[in-house]
Amino acid sequence: MKLWGGRFTKETNELVHNFNESLSFDQKFYRQDIRGSIAHVTMLAKQGILSQEDKEAIVDGLNGILEDIDSGRLKIEPGAEDIHSFVEETLTQRIGEAGKRLHTGRSRNDQVALDMKLYIRDEVQEIGHLVKDLQRELLTIMEENLDTFMPGFTHLQKAQPITLAHHMGAYYEMFARDRGRLHDIYERMNYCPLGSGALAGTTYPLDREYTAQLLDFYGPTLNSMDSVSDRDYLIELLAALSTIAMHLSRFCEEIIIWNTNEYQFVEIDDSYSTGSSIMPQKKNPDIAELIRGKTGRIYGALVALLTTMKGLPLAYNKDMQEDKELTFDAIDTVKGCLALFTGMISTMTFKKDVMEASAKNGFTNATDAADYLVGKGVPFRDAHGIVGRLVLYCLEKGIALDDMTLDEYKAISPVFEDDIYEAISLRTCVEKRTTIGAPGREAMERVIAIYKDQLKD
């Protein structure tokens, strides 16, 4: 049965029904739909628009439907056009006349705007918690690896020594910004569209402040046309999810590189790896690759919704129904990626010796050798040239700066003394970097204290 059959003389073409229906995916928010309807009739009764008796019958009926869907006693079978029609039809079948009064002073346009907001509001918080779980895991790794030296890279070439804690801290920062974005979205979206009607409000004396309050919104939205056609918060969410996915993807790319035979900085746990059907020796980083791969899907959802919205005149247009499947998919995908990623890194082994050995060769301490000369009064540009010659010499002999004898040093510049070895040791290179944000232990400990504080609330 259609909610709008009165004006029609023919049945809907079956293909049209199938193309038009949204029940197959909007049933995901049946709870939100029922919660919104209960708030709506509670307000209608308070305003004297609906009798107390009808309100009670409707609320009891809706709660019964909620329980029955939750328990599986009531199946959401295909047939109704959308979840709104399904709930209203079921209600009327169950309680009769009163059920037909549920939709007084409401349109499906403000109803769907409300349902989606209620659904998304919870998901935004849920995703925030998953990001926080990941940050907690990163913080644990950081605390355990303040002295785990490794090469830091630029252009994927060894650059300067850092620690594993410092490297993890960079990702911690990215995810902190992600959480900030989710928080901002929540703050901006948390206004209630219910009572906006189809587009122009209603002639009933609705109390929109009251429904907003019942549904834990900060207040009602202030323009009924915008209320039914605003999908900005979904675009913002998809942009935030795209950024989370991009961060996870970068991290996965590094883990894939670190997990190669050539690097061997990490070993992904057996429980998070897969094998090859033909090559017995293989242990593949499939989970990291899949997370990296799913990023495309999240970006796709963002571009799809931006494109859907770009030509829409005010107010509601059916195009907007397209917001749901792609948003739901993006949310479920990102939630899965976050949970899997956290599991993968919490079980992963960091091979500290390999990391440290890698930092030792590759001249990651060349800048520090130049700074040593500067400390002895040599202008930086000259120091740069001298160390460049040291590197060339080492490359020819196949050794590291640390392996040169003092005589060899002095042959290139007489300024070098015995204290050069201490000055360019990995530990010194890292420990001397003590300004806030740098990898030195002192700086890192200050930052970790700040992070711990952030994760408290």
Token pair for residue 282?
């293989």
Among 189, 268, 320, 355, binds ligand ARG (CB under 6 A): 320
Lay out the site mask for ligand ARG across 125-164 (x = CB under 6 A, - = otherwise).
----------------------------------------
Contacts of 122 (CB under 8 A, 6+ apart): none
Q: How far is the CB of 159 from ligand ARG (least distance, A)?
A: 51
φ, ψ for residue 419 (rounded to 5)? Answer: -75, 0
Lay out the site mask for ligand ARG across 182-221 (x = CB under 6 A, - = otherwise).
----------------------------------------
Smaller CB distance to ligand ARG: residue 209 or 325? Answer: 325
Catalytic residue among 276, 358, 413, 425: 276
CB neighbourhood size of 156 (10 A): 8
Q: How far is the CB of 5 from ligand ARG (least distance, A)?
A: 14
Asked if 358 is part of the footprint of ligand ARG (rule: CB under 6 A), the reply reads no
Smaller CB distance to ligand ARG: residue 81 or 368? Answer: 81
Angle at the Cα of 312 from the Cα atoms of 311 and 313, rounded to 5 degrees: 120
Lay out the site mask for ligand ARG across 108-127 (x = CB under 6 A, - = otherwise).
xx--x---------------
Q: How far is the CB of 45 from ligand ARG (least distance, A)?
A: 25
Q: How far is the CB of 26 from ligand ARG (least distance, A)?
A: 6
CA distances from 29 to 97, 126, 184 (A): 25, 15, 23
Q: In the complex, which residue's CB is closest to ligand ARG?
A: 321
CA distances from 422 to 9, 89, 394 (A): 92, 80, 18
Which region, judged by CB under 6 A, interacts with ligand ARG, from 145-153, 270-278, 315-323, 414-422? 315-323
CB neighbourhood size of 426 (10 A): 20
# chain residues binding ligand ARG, by CB under 6 A: 10
Which region, judged by CB under 6 A, interacts with ligand ARG, from 105-113, 208-216, 260-268, 348-356? 105-113
Contacts of 423 (CB under 8 A, 6+ apart): 368, 369, 372, 375
- To which H or E segment does residue 7 belong? none
Q: How far is the CB of 443 from ligand ARG (least distance, A)?
A: 51
CA distances from 446 to 137, 197, 449 (A): 18, 53, 5
Contact assessment for residue 266 and residue 348, using Cβ atoms and an 8 Å cutoff: yes
Among 12, 47, 104, 321, binds ligand ARG (CB under 6 A): 321
Among 318, 398, 414, 418, binds ligand ARG (CB under 6 A): 318
Lay out the site mask for ligand ARG across 11-40 (x = CB under 6 A, - = otherwise).
-----------x---x--------------
Lay out the site mask for ligand ARG across 263-302 (x = CB under 6 A, - = otherwise).
----------------------------------------
For 295-330, give one letter per residue: b (16+ CB within 10 A) or e: beebbebbebbeebbeeeeebbeeebbbbbbbbbeb
Distance of alpha carbon 109 from alpha carbon 244, whole angstroms:
31
- To which H or E segment does residue 219 belong? strand 219-220
Catalytic residue among 40, 71, 155, 167: 155
Contacts of 262 (CB under 8 A, 6+ apart): none
φ, ψ for residue 89 (rounded to 5)? Answer: -65, -45
> 40 catalytic, yes or no?
no
Closest CA to 140 of 351, 350, 285: 350
> 196 catalytic, yes or no?
no
Distance of alpha carbon 77 from alpha carbon 85, whole angstroms:
12
Interface residue list for ligand ARG (CB under 6 A):
22, 26, 82, 108-109, 112, 316, 318, 320-321
Q: List the catalytic residues.
A: 155, 276
